[in-house]
């Protein structure tokens, strides 16, 4: 496969200072250090991140990182099409307008168009990456048609033009109770006329894998109706998304040649076979090989993985993360993996729900070297895979904390919000002293201990089938509760993870309650309920704990100067409340209790007190930092000799967000709109 020319126009000369850069002050500080913030618009900010340790890798390791990153970027179009059936057409039209529009580019309307385009880029489509609401333009349809389309010689079907401005397909993912979640979701995983019940019935009768080793049915396909019969269009080479998948395969083949060891090589070969065949049995073989391949400095995540975008929890969104081991932090945090059985044995779960032998949990802190698909521009800070329960139980899992991503998020946030929303100076001081390390430890406990904890009752089906649209938020809340329970435990100081377990635990509890009941509300529009799985789980955990804690004055809601605060009075009692909720949530998962899951999520996690919400938004209006963050990726640029062989890989930073998005559309656009 030919190496792409990945250097942006004029970028090298910009960096060397040989080309005029009118925005140079936004990229370099007075000390010469690269500034983190790249761009900010609407409710979004774009941040740069470094790749610590990359310069210390061998040439072979750098090549592996490069090939894996290219494989990840090659699938970019897939997530756009998965998110909504018209996304690729809309992106193509908007980018054509952006390049060719010959009208007034200084008008307020064109400025509004630019913001709309950037929002679409950030969300990989026309639906907000967090709220799932359709992003509405702040310019008119008349302006779009008569000015932007006509004066850029851009064509777009009338149906698509209308959907940009009307109320059709208003929700990418709709998991509300009491409605048909499939019909009301615009995500492109199902044919437009397929219903919830049809999906349930289809997978009752579909191939589910060998006994005791169920596959992740539906993970890599679109379910459509052909000649009156439901069929799966498999995402594979020669099938749906085949042209992009062939590009992914090409780069993975190159990665095989520079794998660090035999286990990595075998895992990559299985991933290639999976992409070629679409077999979910092969996917399970790959997941086992990947989960048990723990040696080496480089690792990766690539495939159709997280199912949050499917209202029924079957289909995986395409994503890619390329990782370099953070040797120092991984050594410090490996202690959690070594004591995983202790945490399981001492958890408040019912005995029948505890694992008797926690197998093969590996935890490490990594530095991200590239993001793609569903995790770009918006990235998680921790990942625990594989998702298949029986693989996790029998072969273990990998938990990673994305260290440089976490650091970049922390560096790009506004500290003024802490003073505004924390109850008193003691809470502020605690957050400053232990908040960051507490967040990292809670994430580690969530991923390593939380997702690996507990087991299903004998004969109970997979949680995505038993808990349906509530599974994602139940699972995330369950893992959060494990982390919360142990964040206030002397064991973490005994293990050397903090110098003061009480101070760290208090800061973690303060931050979680403050975020779950107050500060995360700045991320949604007034009048809306909460729908994103992680936000929902944070609210139902915090709201249930507050309700229980209010009975005995464990948590008090206080109105001070007409502002709402929550003050924790008894941290040990709150820990016991978290333990009670954890036991119940594990019971719900273990027994597949759909009605209890529904009652918990709908009763505590979705609805918002509109009076408090209005207050929080008014208090937040003083801050300029946008509530959502995402990233531009460093550029991995191959240096080659006269024979075309790679002699080194250098890291360059993109000048701005728009430049990177246009470059990606030019060089990683492998799907036609009809694919």
DSSP state of 27: T
101 touches 110 (CB < 8 A)? yes
Both tokens assigned to 211? 């006994």
Q: What is the pLDDT of residue 549?
A: 96
- Give bridge partners of residue 319 from the DSSP assignment: 303, 373
Domain range annotation of the chain: 87-125+135-165, 326-628
Rounded CA separation 487/506 (Å): 9
Rounded CA separation 19/21 (Å): 6
Contacts of 36 (CB under 8 A, 6+ apart): 47, 48, 49, 408, 411, 412
Q: Which of 220, 396, 199 lies closest to 307, judged by CA?
A: 220
Phi and psi dihedrals of 41, rounded to 5?
A: -160, 155
Rounded CA separation 601/544 (Å): 10
Q: Based on C-alpha coordinates, what's the Rg of the chain?
A: 24
Q: What is the pLDDT of residue 408?
A: 87
Q: Give the model's confidence band at 554: pLDDT under 50 very low, under 70 low, under 90 confident, else very high.
A: very high
pLDDT over 70 percentage in the chain: 93
Both tokens assigned to 354? 């505890």
pLDDT tens digits along 178-187: 899 999 999 9
Range in 152-156, 283-287, 301-305, 356-360 the model is least confident about: 356-360
pLDDT tens digits along 441-456: 998 899 889 998 999 9
Q: Give the model's confidence band at 365: pLDDT under 50 very low, under 70 low, under 90 confident, else very high.
A: confident
Both tokens assigned to 2? 């030919």
Q: What is the pLDDT of residue 411?
A: 67
Query: Alpha-carbon torsion 456, 459, 461, 466, what sign?
Result: negative
- Helix orientation angle between 471-487 and 425-444, rounded to the nearest 10 degrees: 120
What is the CA 307 to chain-centroid distance, rounded?
11
Rounded CA separation 557/568 (Å): 9
166 touches 156 (CB < 8 A)? no
Q: Give the model's confidence band at 313: pLDDT under 50 very low, under 70 low, under 90 confident, else very high.
A: very high
Rounded CA separation 138/128 (Å): 15
What is the CA 333 to chain-centroid distance, rounded?
22
Exposure on the CB side of residue 240, measured as CA atoms within 13 A: 17
What is the CA 592 to chain-centroid distance, rounded?
25
Q: What is the mean pLDDT of residues 158-185?
A: 95
- Is the pLDDT at 377 greater than 80? The verdict is yes
Q: What is the pLDDT of residue 5?
A: 38
C-alpha dist (Å) from residue 267 to 285, 402, 444? 9, 22, 25
Q: What is the mean pLDDT of residues 100-121?
A: 98
Phi and psi dihedrals of 430, rounded to 5?
A: -65, -40
- Is the pLDDT at 7 greater than 70? The verdict is no
Contacts of 371 (CB under 8 A, 6+ apart): 72, 320, 321, 377, 379, 631, 633
Mean pLDDT estimate for the chain: 91
Q: Give the model's confidence band at 674: pLDDT under 50 very low, under 70 low, under 90 confident, else very high.
A: low
Q: What is the mean pLDDT of residues 313-327?
A: 94
370 touches 65 (CB < 8 A)? yes
pLDDT tens digits along 12-59: 222 222 232 322 223 333 334 457 899 999 999 999 999 999 999 999
Element (H, E) at 579: helix 571-591
pTM of the model: 0.80
- DSSP, collapsed to helix, strand or coil, labels residue 257 as helix
667 touches 4 (CB < 8 A)? yes
pLDDT tens digits along 393-429: 899 999 888 989 988 887 655 558 999 999 999 999 9
- Is the pLDDT at 172 greater than 70? The verdict is yes
Phi and psi dihedrals of 481, rounded to 5?
A: -65, -35
646 touches 640 (CB < 8 A)? yes
C-alpha dist (Å) from residue 412 to 50, 166, 191, 383? 13, 35, 40, 21
């Amino acid at each position: 496969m030919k190496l792409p020319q990945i250097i942006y126009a004029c970028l090298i000369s910009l960096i060397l200072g040989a080309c005029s850069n009118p925005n140079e002050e936004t990229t370099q500080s007075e000390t010469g250090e690269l500034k983190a913030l790249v761009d900010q618009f609407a409710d979004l900010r774009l941040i740069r991140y470094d790749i610590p340790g990359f310069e210390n890798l061998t040439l072979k390791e750098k090549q592996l990182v490069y090939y894996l990153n290219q494989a990840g970027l090659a699938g970019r179009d897939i997530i756009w099409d998965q998110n909504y059936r018209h996304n690729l057409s809309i992106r193509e039209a908007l980018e054509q307008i952006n390049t060719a529009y010959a009208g007034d580019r200084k008008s307020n309307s064109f400025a509004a168009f630019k913001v709309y385009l950037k929002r679409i880029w950030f969300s990989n489509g026309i639906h907000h990456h967090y709220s799932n609401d359709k992003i509405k333009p702040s310019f008119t349809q008349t302006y779009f048609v008569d000015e932007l389309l006509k004066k850029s010689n851009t064509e777009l079907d009338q149906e698509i033009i209308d959907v940009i401005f009307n109320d059709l397909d208003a929700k990418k993912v709709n998991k509300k109770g009491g409605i048909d979640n499939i019909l009301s979701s615009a995500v492109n995983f199902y044919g437009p006329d397929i219903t919830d019940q049809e999906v349930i019935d289809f997978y009752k009768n579909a191939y589910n894998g060998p006994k005791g080793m169920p596959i992740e049915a539906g993970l890599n396909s679109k379910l459509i109706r052909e000649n009156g019969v439901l069929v799966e269009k498999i995402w594979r080479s020669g099938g749906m998304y085949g042209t992009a998948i062939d590009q992914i395969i090409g780069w993975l083949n190159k990665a095989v040649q520079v794998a660090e060891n035999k286990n990595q090589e075998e895992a990559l070969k299985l991933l290639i076979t999976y992409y070629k065949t679409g077999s979910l049995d092969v996917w399970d073989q790959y997941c086992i090989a990947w989960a048990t391949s723990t040696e080496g400095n480089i690792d990766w995540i690539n495939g159709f993985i997280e199912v949050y975008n499917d209202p029924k929890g079957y289909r995986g969104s395409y994503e890619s993360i390329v990782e370099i081991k953070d040797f120092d932090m991984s050594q410090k945090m490996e202690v959690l993996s070594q004591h995983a059985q202790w945490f399981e044995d001492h958890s408040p779960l019912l005995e029948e729900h505890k694992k008797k032998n926690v197998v093969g949990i590996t935890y490490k802190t990594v530095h991200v070297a590239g993001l793609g698909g569903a995790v770009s521009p918006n990235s998680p800070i921790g990942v625990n895979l594989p998702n298949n329960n029986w693989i996790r139980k029998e072969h273990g899992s990998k938990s990673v904390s994305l260290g440089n991503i976490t650091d970049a998020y922390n560096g790009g946030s506004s500290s003024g919000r802490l003073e505004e929303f924390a109850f008193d100076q003691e809470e502020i001081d605690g957050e400053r002293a232990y908040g960051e390390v507490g967040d990292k430890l809670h994430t580690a406990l969530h991923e390593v201990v939380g997702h690996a904890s507990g087991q299903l009752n004998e004969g109970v089906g997979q949680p995505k089938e038993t808990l349906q649209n509530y599974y994602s938020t139940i699972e995330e809340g369950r893992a959060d509760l494990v982390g919360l329970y142990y964040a206030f435990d002397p064991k973490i100081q005994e293990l050397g993870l903090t110098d003061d377990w009480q101070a760290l635990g208090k800061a973690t509890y303060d931050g979680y309650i403050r975020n779950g009941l107050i500060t995360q509300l700045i991320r949604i529009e007034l009048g809306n309920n909460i729908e994103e799985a992680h936000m929902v789980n944070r609210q139902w955990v915090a709201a249930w704990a507050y309700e229980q804690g209010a009975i005995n004055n464990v948590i008090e809601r206080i109105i001070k100067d007409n502002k709402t605060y929550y003050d924790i009075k008894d941290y040990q009692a709150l820990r016991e409340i978290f333990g009670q909720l954890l036991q119940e949530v594990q019971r719900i998962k273990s027994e597949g209790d759909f009605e209890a899951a529904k009652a918990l999520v709908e009763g505590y996690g979705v609805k918002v007190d509109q009076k408090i919400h209005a207050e929080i938004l008014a208090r937040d209006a003083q801050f300029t930092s946008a509530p959502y963050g995402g990233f531009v990726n460093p550029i991995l640029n191959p240096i080659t000799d006269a024979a075309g062989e790679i002699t080194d890989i250098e890291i360059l930073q993109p000048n701005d967000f728009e430049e990177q998005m246009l470059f990606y559309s030019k060089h990683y656009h492998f799907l036609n709109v009809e694919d």
